[in-house]
Amino acid sequence: MTQTQISHPAGRMTSVRWIILVLLFVSSFVAYVLRTNMSVAGEHMMTDLRLSQIQLGMVLAAFAWGYALFQFPGGVFGDIIGSRRALTLIAILWGLLNVLVGLVPGRPFASPAVILVSLVGLRFLMGVAQAPLYPVTSGGTICNWFPVSGWAFPNGLTNAGLTLGSAATGPLIAWLMESLGWRQSFVLTAPLAFLTAGLWWWYVRDGPAEHPGVSREELALIDARRPSRPIALRESAWKVVLKDREVLLLTASYFCSNYVFYLFFNWLFIYLVDSRGFKALEGGFYAAAPWIAGAIGALAGGAICDGLSRRIGMRWGCRLPSIFGLALTAGFIVAAATAGNPYTAVLHLSLCLGCQQLTEGPFWAATISVSGRHASAACGVLNTGGNVVGGIGALLVPVTVQALGWGAALATGSVFAILGAVLWFWIRADRLFAGGETRPPVRGPNSVTG
């Protein structure tokens, strides 16, 4: 304990951990503004740079592949240098890469191939730079800064930060595009990342014992009932996780569920403008509604799963909200595709994303439950499957739109949602796999979306 901590008056309980939580929320919010901006600016970029929807899909897919492929290396990176340095460095990269997108040369100065390769490369690198975010903040900062019985709420609030960041992106980027152009919408939002990096480096420390503002009482609260350092994973742990039936079924179902998430993430704004006839600024505001519903759904899903698991057990406590949420997701996305009124379509889309986010908590809680002390490895497999689908969907959607129209493209989301719901009938969240010798006392979901 530092000398500054010892100097706190006896009995004084500080609240540094809650300021850390606010900064976690801000980091998640900013990250999603800077990763969702391309889907909003894409409509103007296609016109200005003469890109087709399929080419834009390639650019959007590049982010998803960079993000999915570098999650595990990103987690290792955070473990090596610590969460304070890791998030500071990657936030600086978010800002720099955002500026570079705004500086991509136009058609008079570069060939179509150069423009496309530049955008694909920059968005891939943005995916790489954002990949460590949740391994660092959830596996490092939240774990270190909050007591064992208080991990679920910080993760839930961080999840709300990402959905609300996506909600803010539509109106913000649309307004900047209409006022100043799409290039300035990237350049002028980049300082958000630099500000996040500065605040994080200035205030955050890797652990509470290193922070001069933490009192003895707050440190004792954070460390209460904290287990000893986990036993190192066996050399074959990843092989054991990848062979487990429940982990693979959960990953397959999460793959299906996140197809719908990425449909919204990549194409919502463009769909509202291209298919539903909203003007850019108007479409930006209406694109926020589903993300707000998603934040509500994520928090509600965690609470529902937690309550059901205590009353009827993990198997049906996780299974019921997941099946219910994904079935409703399928129905609402079809309703949105077939709605005659564009405002009715927005309502159905909002309910759709809210129901999809309802399943986030059950997915993560079930994975932790079945994997015991190998939860980090199992959750890594889950989240990789949930983000690889973003690279597939980013291309499948525009191909379907060109061949069959937007109605059919949205209907693909319904097919994936139904498949994801059906898979849950075979998932047993109360079954500990052979490699997970000890089960942590999981009382509720510890949910984060990547």
Amino acid, single-letter form, for residue 372 = G
| pTM beyond cutoff 0.75 | no
Domains of the chain: 17-224 (1.20.1250.20), 236-450 (1.20.1250.20)
Contact in structure between 139 and 78 (CB atoms under 8 Å): yes
Contact, 338 vs 415, CB < 8 A?
no
User: Could you give the CA distance from residue 407 to residue 334 in angstroms, rounded to a whole number?
Assistant: 8
Residue 23 sits at the vertex; the CA angle it makes with 194 and 42, to the nearest 5 degrees, is 55
Tokens 């739109």 map to which residue? 401
Burial class of residue 225 (count of CB atoms within 10 Å of its CB; 0-12, 13-18, 19+): exposed
What distance in Å separates the CA atoms of residue 425 and residue 239, rounded to the nearest whole number? 25
> Do 383 and 450 touch, CB atoms closer than 8 A?
yes
pLDDT tens, N- to C-terminus, the chain (450 residues): 344 444 455 567 888 888 998 898 899 899 989 988 888 888 888 888 988 888 888 898 888 889 888 877 776 677 778 889 999 999 999 999 999 999 998 888 878 889 999 999 999 999 999 988 877 776 567 767 777 545 546 666 777 787 888 788 878 888 888 888 889 999 999 999 999 999 999 998 888 888 888 888 888 887 776 555 444 444 455 667 777 889 899 999 999 999 999 899 888 888 888 888 887 667 777 888 898 999 899 888 878 887 888 788 888 988 999 999 999 999 999 999 999 899 999 999 999 999 999 988 788 778 767 776 666 667 667 878 888 888 788 788 888 988 898 889 999 999 999 999 999 999 998 876 654 444 444 444 444 444
Q: Assign 3-state DSSP to the chain and report helix, strand, coil percentages, each to 5.
A: 80, 0, 20
Report the alpha-carbon distance of residue 444 to residue 107 in Å, rounded: 53
In angstroms, the CA 184 to CA 190 distance is: 10
What is the reported pLDDT for 225? Answer: 62
CA quadruple 271, 186, 125, 192: dihedral positive or negative? negative
The whole-number pLDDT of residue 438 equals 41
Q: How many CA atoms lie within 13 A of 387 on its CB side?
A: 25
* Structure tokens, 126: 């943005």
Report which of 357, 379, 368, 385 is spatially closest to residue 429, judged by C-alpha positions. Answer: 368
C-alpha dist (Å) from residue 151 to 50, 247, 305: 47, 22, 15
Distances (CA, A) of 47 to 56, 177, 189, 264, 406: 11, 13, 21, 21, 19
User: What backbone torsions phi and psi does residue 82 show, to the nearest 5 degrees?
Assistant: 90, 155
Q: What is the pLDDT of residue 372?
A: 61
Q: What's the pLDDT score for residue 8?
A: 55
What pLDDT does residue 374 have? 64
Which tokens hold the place of 407?
């109605």
Supply the pLDDT for residue 426: 94
DSSP string, 232-296: PPPTTHHHHHHH-HHHHHHHHHHHHHHHHHHHHHHHHHHHHHHTT---HHHHHHHHHHHHHHHHH
Nearest one of 141, 139, 159 to 76, comparing CA atoms:
139
> Alpha-carbon Rg of the chain, whole angstroms?
22
Task: Check if the beta carbon of residue 71 is closer than 8 Å to that of residue 128.
Answer: no
Nearest to 447 by CA among 162, 153, 235: 153
